[in-house]
């Protein structure tokens, strides 16, 4: 095949053009652009509502019943549940190896079989959570009332949804519409009505009824009544009863009808003004860049049509980071490619360098061709993968081109040189590519946070395989056109190249080979020296001298402050604190204003008070990317100053600040305490928080159990039973009056509007009013609530968390990773908790959050490392046809890891998860050079060369390709290594491991592989001699 393609350059060129054009077409039309890679959610969620119920009622009536129904399903890894006021959610995490969709079906069958959910339980939803790919937010804001803002937002949502590039738009930062019909108790008594009777009248009158079809000669005519009310005025016209004088009493005469929002308090502000947000998402194959551009164009057009005092703007543009990443990585790509080409042009003929580098775009287009097959989008990780492989992809072409170049220098014809030179190194090059591809394969099977990097191998492996195709079938056809150099036509570039080549040859002959000869003579001493260096480096890691941060923090461009006040705190109090936090953020915005440009580092401030939980608040600061700031201030510094300005919030249960990329995992410190005794969990939780506070690096300590919300418990008095009342009847009437009850749900445009009947708000705001509420015991008969039931104050937890069917208290904290060792703190907390459990029988604990993520990722790395070592051994044993020579080649791997650690020292960086993933990949890359050396030694020995001479010549002959492959790999990564943008920071450790690891391993390879080959032969010779001596001894005895 190699000779055929070398002679038939038309076929080679057609293959090249087909791959290039196909890749360009697929990249342009079938690869979506997104911020992060997509991956399957390995969980099933079950949610259900029980309006007006306390968390304990929800736990008993919904949560426990769901947990008990599904607990025996095979493949469940963990069951997490949360019971809060008015609803429950249960999350079932699925074990690896089990199909999530099958689990979804099994859960549906089990839950659907439950027939004893409480009356009023509704909105059962069982699903696999979908990854929401938000693209950009559009904000309508101004000093307008909430209903007006919502109407404008609805209009903008509808207009955005019909744009051709946008398919998914939602409203946020506002409440659902609700029609509230409020009737005072006094009015009900006046007309001898109950809320239930009013509700029945409304249902009977406000409805559309189909009366069938009228059969006529001209055709069928549909008959129906149209009585459904859709707004407050239409409901007000509904007749309720007729007075004795014949007067019609309408609903509007006895009720206050409000067509607004649910009663749940909520305030959303954008830059200090009331606001409603319209969120735009990317879906399917849509490009996030095209989606956001369509939104920006719309906003620019719509801004001119907004009324006075009402503004429209966009924020949280998720295309900005991806465009910055594209720019960063694109710049790194062309700079790296330029360095690679320059290096090759200096050490090889420029024409050879050109044809070698042609393999880069061809291999990249081949990868683009396969990306849709593997469901890989163009995102941060896939772009990083292209940069990572930039210098590696030409390794096979370098070895092939250098060998062809060597044949040319020996005077062979270009065609013969192309064919023989390619065939000569075909086996080591092929298996070298396979070992490199194998090195990245374990990344595809990482779990925990490591799964975020699973897209990398699905880019790198296709690139490498297409590069193999190029180096074997296309490159020889091009290299046959390289003519032997004519000295009289030397250009300036050729002269420079010859000088560099001559200098390299001088380096080999006068420095390297003499040094190699000394090392070969003193091979055991040299080997022990290298082993000692390896032990020192590994010892520095084990002793903690080299700091290890499993999940480093990289500053983000959005800072978020989250507030949780005790349950029962008035919404006005929570909102006042959120406003204060917003004002402090606005002060920082003014402080960090560049007077020359008129722009602040802080672009926008978005805040939300209340919502589903009226005691919560959130303030978000949208920041200019660090690389674009005209004022030298880090996001971390802004957040710390913001924290200091806000200070401690009296009584706040939670107040934390986050401004980091990759905050999708758990908290740095997260301890789950499990048990049935709530008081024991509380006591141990308080002790644990006190213990955590002893560490200077631990801050923002919180727990999941609030102080609880005040509740009123109804107890029936003996007199009630004499009146024919039971607790259910009394409780139902109280619920109808206080919470109200839903009488209808109407579809109004895109909105599902709930219609509620209840007492006025002022009648539901005090215990005294509640006790005076009248309980109906029959027609025209009623008694005050206090006569038939006692009202006892109590407390109910704000929410109840359960893990694996046990009540759980989660204690979490943030951690200063720059000034503390998280691993040590987690270990010490675990030991301390173990010593405390004897005092709390039935209580257990588990380290969750980052500790759990770290354990999962570590296990994945260990398993991946072992599997990789076995796979590399097999891939080396096959071409060598030896059980021992693969060990010689693989002996360089530990030294590559040493180089990776040294690289982190040089760059002043800590070791991270990405560092170890880089080391895993490095293991397969570094063996390529060793493979080339050992293969050359084997060839020479087959030709009858002496062992020492073969080893000595192999070092000199393969010095240039070994050096070039390493230098080009490092050169391809160099621009990324020194990149300062936010977009590149958490990826750099992997590049450091690969780049510096390969550089160091190259130096070691040129010595350790020849030495190990000799030592292996020494050992073989020793055993051969030992066996021969034993046989001789046995013969003499016989």
CATH code at 992? 1.20.1640.10
Report helix, strand or coil for 758. strand
Confidence of residue 450 (pLDDT cuts 50, 70, 90): low
Prediction pTM value: 0.76
Residue 577 has pLDDT above 80, yes or no: yes
What is the pLDDT at residue 608?
93
Range of the domain at 99: 43-127
Report helix, strand or coil for 46. strand
| CA–CA gap between residue 152 and residue 493 (Å, rounded) | 67
| CA–CA gap between residue 263 and residue 77 (Å, rounded) | 39
Sequential DSSP letters for 491-560: -HHHHHHHHHHHHHHHHIIIIIHHHHHHHHHTHHHHHHHHHHHHHHHHHHHHTTSS-B-SS--EEEEEEE
Q: What count of other Cβ atoms lies within 10 Å of the Cβ of residue 189?
A: 14
The residue-averaged pLDDT of 94-119 equals 90
The residue-averaged pLDDT of 310-338 equals 78
My answer on whether 651 and 505 are in the same domain is: no
Which token pair is 563? 């507030």
**Is residue 98 domain-resident?**
yes
Residue 804: CB partners within 8 Å, gap ≥ 6?
A: 78, 79, 674
Confidence of residue 134 (pLDDT cuts 50, 70, 90): confident
Confidence of residue 21 (pLDDT cuts 50, 70, 90): very high
What is the pLDDT at residue 270?
94
My answer on whether 559 and 421 are in the same domain is: no
Last residue of a domain, one of 93, 127, 161: 127
14, with CB counted inside 10 A (0-12, 13-18, 19+), is: exposed
My answer on whether 281 and 400 are in the same domain is: no
What is the pLDDT at residue 790?
83
Q: Which residues of 529-554 are buried (b: 16+ CB within 10 A; e: fewer)?
A: ebeeeeeebeeeeeeeebebbbbbbb
What is the pLDDT at residue 907?
86
Residue 551 has pLDDT above 80, yes or no: no
The residue-averaged pLDDT of 742-770 equals 83
Sign (positive or negative) of CA dihedral 272, 278, 284, 285 = negative
Weakest-pLDDT range from 17-26, 701-710, 849-858, 866-875:
701-710
Residue 277 has pLDDT above 70, yes or no: yes
Report helix, strand or coil for 139. strand
Residue 488 has pLDDT above 60, yes or no: no
Of 909, 760, 894, 910, residue with least CA distance to 823: 910
Which token pair is 24? 């360009």
My answer on whether 47 and 142 are in the same domain is: no
**Is residue 702 domain-resident?**
no
CATH number of the CATH domain containing 98: 3.30.70.1430
My answer on whether 431 and 545 are in the same domain is: yes
Sign (positive or negative) of CA dihedral 289, 291, 292, 298 = positive
How many separate domains does the chain show? 5
The residue-averaged pLDDT of 340-368 equals 82
Confidence of residue 329 (pLDDT cuts 50, 70, 90): low
Weakest-pLDDT range from 331-345, 524-538, 1017-1031:
331-345
Last residue of a domain, one of 258, 285, 317: 317
Helix (H), strand (E) at residue 787: helix 785-788
Of 818, 1001, 975, residue with least CA distance to 922: 1001
CATH number of the CATH domain containing 776: 3.30.2090
User: Can you state the angle between helices 947-957 and 927-942, rounded to 10 degrees?
Assistant: 140
Check: CB of residue 449 under 8 Å from CB of residue 853.
yes
HEC per residue, 664-695: CCCCCEEEEEECCCHHHHHHHHHHHHHHHCCC
Q: Which residues lie across from 738 on neighbouring strands?
A: none
Average pLDDT along the chain: 84
Sequential DSSP letters for 209-236: EEEEEEEETTEEEEEEEE----SHHHHH
Check: CB of residue 810 under 8 Å from CB of residue 671.
yes
What is the pLDDT at residue 767?
72
| CA–CA gap between residue 922 and residue 900 (Å, rounded) | 9
Which token pair is 670? 């997260």
Sign (positive or negative) of CA dihedral 76, 77, 83, 87 = negative
What is the pLDDT at residue 493?
66
CATH number of the CATH domain containing 150: 3.30.70.1320
Confidence of residue 706 (pLDDT cuts 50, 70, 90): low
**Is residue 673 domain-resident?**
no
**Is residue 674 domain-resident?**
no
Residue 106 has pLDDT above 90, yes or no: yes
What is the pLDDT at residue 982?
65
Residue 16: CB partners within 8 Å, gap ≥ 6?
A: 358, 362, 470, 474
What is the pLDDT at residue 984?
67
Q: Which residues lie across from 55 on neighbouring strands?
A: none
My answer on whether 64 and 151 are in the same domain is: no
Residue 168 has pLDDT above 80, yes or no: yes
**Is residue 88 domain-resident?**
yes
Last residue of a domain, one of 317, 348, 368: 317
pLDDT tens-digit readout, 649-695: 888 888 888 887 655 556 888 898 988 887 888 889 889 999 998 99
Phi/psi of residue 1036, each to 5°?
-65, -40
My answer on whether 989 and 881 are in the same domain is: yes
pLDDT tens-digit readout, 927-968: 877 888 888 888 888 888 888 888 888 888 888 888 888 888
Residue 409 has pLDDT above 90, yes or no: no
My answer on whether 113 and 140 are in the same domain is: no
Report helix, strand or coil for 446. coil
Of 52, 173, 181, 206, residue with least CA distance to 122: 52
**Is residue 249 domain-resident?**
no
What is the pLDDT at residue 545?
67
**Is residue 847 domain-resident?**
no
Query: In 40-145, which ranges are continuous DSSP H helix?
Result: 55-58, 64-70, 100-112
My answer on whether 326 and 312 are in the same domain is: no
What number of CA atoms fall less than 13 Å from residue 796's CA on the CB side? 20
914, 915, 919, 925: CA torsion to nearest 10: 70
My answer on whether 887 and 960 are in the same domain is: yes
The residue-averaged pLDDT of 321-326 equals 74
**Is residue 256 domain-resident?**
no
For residue 373, the 8-state DSSP code is T
Residue 583 has pLDDT above 90, yes or no: yes
**Backbone dihedral region of 702: left (phi > 0), alpha (psi from -120 to 50 degrees) or beta?**
beta
Residue 13: CB partners within 8 Å, gap ≥ 6?
A: 474, 477
Of 498, 503, 497, 641, residue with least CA distance to 559: 641
My answer on whether 70 and 89 are in the same domain is: yes
pLDDT tens-digit readout, 209-264: 777 787 777 777 878 778 888 888 999 999 988 877 778 888 999 999 999 888 88
My answer on whether 156 and 86 are in the same domain is: no
Question: What is the percent of the chain with per-residue pLDDT over 70, rounded to a whole number?
Answer: 95
What number of CA atoms fall less than 13 Å from residue 394's CA on the CB side? 34
Of 998, 933, 997, residue with least CA distance to 428: 933
Which token pair is 595? 């007077």
Residue 586 has pLDDT above 90, yes or no: yes
The residue-averaged pLDDT of 447-464 equals 80
Residue 202 has pLDDT above 80, yes or no: yes
């Amino acid at each position: 095949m190699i000779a055929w393609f070398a002679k038939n350059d038309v076929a080679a060129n057609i293959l090249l053009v087909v791959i290039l054009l196909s890749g360009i077409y697929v990249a342009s039309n079938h690869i979506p652009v997104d911020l992060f890679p997509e991956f399957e959610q390995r969980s099933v969620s079950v949610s259900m509502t029980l309006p007006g119920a306390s968390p304990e009622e929800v736990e008993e009536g919904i949560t426990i019943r769901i947990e008990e129904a599904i607990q025996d399903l095979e493949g469940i890894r963990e069951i997490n549940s949360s019971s809060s006021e008015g609803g429950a959610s249960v999350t079932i995490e699925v074990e690896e190896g089990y199909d999530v969709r099958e689990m979804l079906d099994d859960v549906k069958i089990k839950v659907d079989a439950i027939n004893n959910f409480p009356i009023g339980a509704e909105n059962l939803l069982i699903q696999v959570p979908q990854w929401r790919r938000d693209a950009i937010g559009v904000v309508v804001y101004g000093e307008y009332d909430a209903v007006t803002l919502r109407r404008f937002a609805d209009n903008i949502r509808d207009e955005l949804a019909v744009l051709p590039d946008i398919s998914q738009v939602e409203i946020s930062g506002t409440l659902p519409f609700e029609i509230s019909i409020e009737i005072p108790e006094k009015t009900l008594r006046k007309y001898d009505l109950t809320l239930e009777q009013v509700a029945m009248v409304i249902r009977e009158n406000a409805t559309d009824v189909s009366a069938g079809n009228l059969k006529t000669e001209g055709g069928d005519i549909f008959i129906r009544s149209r009585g459904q009310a859709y707004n407050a005025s239409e409901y007000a016209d509904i007749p309720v009863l007729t007075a004795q004088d014949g007067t019609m009493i309408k609903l509007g005469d006895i009720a206050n009808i409000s067509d607004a929002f649910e009663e749940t308090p909520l305030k959303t502000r954008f830059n200090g003004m009331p606001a409603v947000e319209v969120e735009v998402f990317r879906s399917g194959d849509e490009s996030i860049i095209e989606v956001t551009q369509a939104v920006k164009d719309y906003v620019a057009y719509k801004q001119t049509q907004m009324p006075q005092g009402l503004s429209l703007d966009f924020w949280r543009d998720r295309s900005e980071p991806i465009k910055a990443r594209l720019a960063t990585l694109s710049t790194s790509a062309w700079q790296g490619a330029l360095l690679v080409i320059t290096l090759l042009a200096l050490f090889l003929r420029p024409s050879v360098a050109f044809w070698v580098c042609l393999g880069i775009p061809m291999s990249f287009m081949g990868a683009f061709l396969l990306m849709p097959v593997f469901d890989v989008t163009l995102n941060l990780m896939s772009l990083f993968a292209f940069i990572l492989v930039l210098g590696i992809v030409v390794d096979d072409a370098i070895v092939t081109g250098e060998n062809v170049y060597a044949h040319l220098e020996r005077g062979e014809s270009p065609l013969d040189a192309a064919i023989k030179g390619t065939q000569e190194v075909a086996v080591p090059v092929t298996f070298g590519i396979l070992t490199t591809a194998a090195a990245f394969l374990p990344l595809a099977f990482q779990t925990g946070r490591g799964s975020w990097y699973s897209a990398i191998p699905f880019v790198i492996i296709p690139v490498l395989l297409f590069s193999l195709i190029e180096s074997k079938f296309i490159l020889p056809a091009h290299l046959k056109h390289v003519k032997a150099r004519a000295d009289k036509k030397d250009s300036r570039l050729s002269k420079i190249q010859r000088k560099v080549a001559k200098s390299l040859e001088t380096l080999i002959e006068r420095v390297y080979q003499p040094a190699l000869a000394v090392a070969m003579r003193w091979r055991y001493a040299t080997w022990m020296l290298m082993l000692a260096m390896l032990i020192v480096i590994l010892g520095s890691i084990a002793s903690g001298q080299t700091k290890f941060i499993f999940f480093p923090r990289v500053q983000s461009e959005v800072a978020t402050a989250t507030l949780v006040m005790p349950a029962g705190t008035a919404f006005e109090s929570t909102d006042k604190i959120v406003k204060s936090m917003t004002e402090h953020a606005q002060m920082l915005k003014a402080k960090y204003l560049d007077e020359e440009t008129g722009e602040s580092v802080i672009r926008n401030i978005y805040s939300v008070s209340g919502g589903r939980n009226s005691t919560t608040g959130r303030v978000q600061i949208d920041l200019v990317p660090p690389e674009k700031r005209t004022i030298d201030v880090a996001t971390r510094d802004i957040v710390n100053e913001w924290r200091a300005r806000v200070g401690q919030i009296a009584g706040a249960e939670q107040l934390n600040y986050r401004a980091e990329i990759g905050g999708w995992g758990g908290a740095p410190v997260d301890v789950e305490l499990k048990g049935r005794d709530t008081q024991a969990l509380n006591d141990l939780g308080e002790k644990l928080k006190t213990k955590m506070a002893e560490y200077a690096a631990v801050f923002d300590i919180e727990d999941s159990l609030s102080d609880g919300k005040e509740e009123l418990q109804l107890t029936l008095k003996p007199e009630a039973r004499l009146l024919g009342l039971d607790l259910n009847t009394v409780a139902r009437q109280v619920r109808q009056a206080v919470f109200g009850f839903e009488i209808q749900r109407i579809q109004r445009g895109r909105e599902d509007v709930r219609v509620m009947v209840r007492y006025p708000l002022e009648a539901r705001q005090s215990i005294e009013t509640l006790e005076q509420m009248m309980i109906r015991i029959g027609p025209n008969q009623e008694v005050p609530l206090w006569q038939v039931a006692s009202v006892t104050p109590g407390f109910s937890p704000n929410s109840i968390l359960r893990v694996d069917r046990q009540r759980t208290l989660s204690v979490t904290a943030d951690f200063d990773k720059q000034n503390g060792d998280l691993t040590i703190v987690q270990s010490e907390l675990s030991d301390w908790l173990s010593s405390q459990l004897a005092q709390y029988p039935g209580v257990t604990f588990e380290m969750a959050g980052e500790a759990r993520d770290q354990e999962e990722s570590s296990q994945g790395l260990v398993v991946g490392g072992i599997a990789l070592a076995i796979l590399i051994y097999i891939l080396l044993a096959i071409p060598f046809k030896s059980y021992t020579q693969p060990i010689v080649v693989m002996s360089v791997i530990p030294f590559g890891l040493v180089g990776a650690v040294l690289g982190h020292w040089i760059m002043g960086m800590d070791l991270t998860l990405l560092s170890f993933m880089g080391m895993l990949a490095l293991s397969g890359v570094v063996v390529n050079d060793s493979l080339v050396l050992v293969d050359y030694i084997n060839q020479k020995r087959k030709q009858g060369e002496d062992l020492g001479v073969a080893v000595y010549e192999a070092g000199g002959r393969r010095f240039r390709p070994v050096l070039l492959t390493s230098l080009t790999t490092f050169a391809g990564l160099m621009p990324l290594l020194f990149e300062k943008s936010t977009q590149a920071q958490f990826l750099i450790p992997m590049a450091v491991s690969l780049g510096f690891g390969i550089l160091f391993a190259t130096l070691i390879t040129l010595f350790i592989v020849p030495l190990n080959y000799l030592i292996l032969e020494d050992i073989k010779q020793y055993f051969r001699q030992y066996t021969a001596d034993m046989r001789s001894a046995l013969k003499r005895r016989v």
